[in-house]
Amino acid sequence: MAIQLYKAGDSHEVRGIKCEVANFKPAELEARLAEGWAKSPEDIGNGDKQEEIKEAEEELFEEEIDPAEVRERAKVAGIEGWEKKRIKTLINELGE
């Protein structure tokens, strides 16, 4: 079984939204969401926003912060929208 995720791009058009589409194993879901993939094309935003998110997450990687770990902590803490919010936002909401 595979899950289909979406990212800003122009290789496909789904429900009128240009995007990249890829299939992943369900076990990869959290990691792929942390990389900027989305569960639906409506959630990807525009390309500029996705690029901004990617740059911010790259900065976090340089600081040795694991986005998947931050998302898990946010999920456990009950932060609404933990699966879609930017890592920096989640860190702020977690008070770290």
- pLDDT tens per residue across span 7-29: 988 889 888 888 999 999 999 99
| Burial label, 15 (beta-carbon count in 10 A; 0-12, 13-18, 19+) | exposed
Q: Tell whether the model's pLDDT for residue 35 goes beyond 70.
A: yes
Q: Tell whether the model's pLDDT for residue 2 goes beyond 70.
A: yes
Bridge partners, residue 5, by sequence: 22
Distance CA 38, CA 65 (A): 20
- pLDDT tens per residue across span 36-93: 899 998 888 655 565 666 676 666 655 677 888 889 999 999 999 998 888 888 888 8
Query: Does pTM top 0.75 for this prediction?
Result: no
pLDDT value of position 89: 86
| Burial label, 92 (beta-carbon count in 10 A; 0-12, 13-18, 19+) | exposed
